[in-house]
Amino acid sequence: SRIRTVWDTRITIRDLFQSPTPALLAEHIAAGSGGNPLDTVLPIRAARGRDAGEAPLFCFHAVSGVSWGYAGLLPHLDAGRPVIALQARRLGGTEGAPDSIEEMADDYLAEIREAQPHGPYHLLGWSFGGLVAHAVAARLESAGEEVALLALLDAYPLPDGFRAPEVDGRHVLTALLGSRGASVPVRCADTAPDVAELAEALRRSDPVLAGLDQAQAAAVVAATLDNLRMRYRYVPDVRYGGDALFFDATGTPAAQSGAAAWAPYVTGRVEEFAVDCEHARMTEAEPLRTIGEVLARRLRPARI
């Protein structure tokens, strides 16, 4: 924000990921290059190449479709561990956007195998992203590949008997902003979502997403709306045979434990870890410190 204000130079969060020091960022700006912060594949810490370095940690977006928050994991992971985030294709428009979580998993699987053709794979997903990560893990396993890590951040399958609500404007804001979304004034709070109105409300209410222009903010709202509707009708269609780590946001009580919720869909052990935060705050600094410390211990040195 200060760079934009002082020098009237447009940079994005992706530019900061790609050029994380002042010297590198100065070179990046001088070269006139820029990166779209809403691209489907977002290298938060870029891989050094297919023939060297540790296997990446692939991170799947929450319901917003945006994965910037995973940057908070970097200080807690080995410096040689690439972190590659997947973001909703819907952020770039409707062309090629999936209509279901199953289609989304197939799409992201192709992107992952383009970046890393063979295992071992390391997968992490928060909330909605945990459902996608599980689906990708099962598909990799079915293809004969090793999944060395599946981490689920407060991600729950739908309970038996769940009845999907009609999604209104308040659902979208709450999905994007957590409890803060309940108090954001919008005319469409109890009616069909108005994408333009919600986008403007989002830019006013969130200091991070305020950096998006109106069209980009509208794309985030549209992706959230699509993802909510997909989430409300999704029951996992596959079982994953390996183990999983489950991180429980203890500030948002759930009806059952993560291990119990995933028992029908994970045949291995589901190991649970408590994180002292609300569900919507899992990618803030302190929760990611807890999560990152566990991940750092569990990520084994695996070269690709």
Asked if pLDDT for residue 41 goes beyond 70, the answer is yes
- What is the CATH T-level fold of the domain 36-161+237-298, as seen in this structure? Rossmann fold (3.40.50)
What is the mean predicted confidence (pLDDT) over 1-5? 74
**Ranges of H-type helices in 240-284:** 258-262
Strand order in the sheet with 83-86: 41-45, 83-86, 57-60, 121-126, 147-153, 244-249, 270-275
Structure tokens at 185: 């004034």
Q: Which residue has the higher pLDDT, 63 or 160?
A: 63
Give the whole-angstrom CA distance, residue 11 versus residue 133. 30
Ranking 12-21, 203-212, 284-293 by mean pLDDT, the lowest is 12-21
Asked if pLDDT for residue 51 goes beyond 50, the answer is no
* Residue pLDDT, tens place only, 135-162: 999 999 999 999 999 999 999 999 988 9
Is the torsion defined by CA of 90, 96, 99, 103 positive or negative?
A: negative
Asked if pLDDT for residue 33 goes beyond 80, the answer is no
Residue 303: which pLDDT band, with cuts at 50, 70 and 90? low
Domain definitions of the chain by residue range: 36-161+237-298, 165-232
Q: Which residues are catalytic?
A: 127
- Rounded to 5°, angle at Cα 226 from 70 and 37: 35
pTM, 2 dp? 0.90
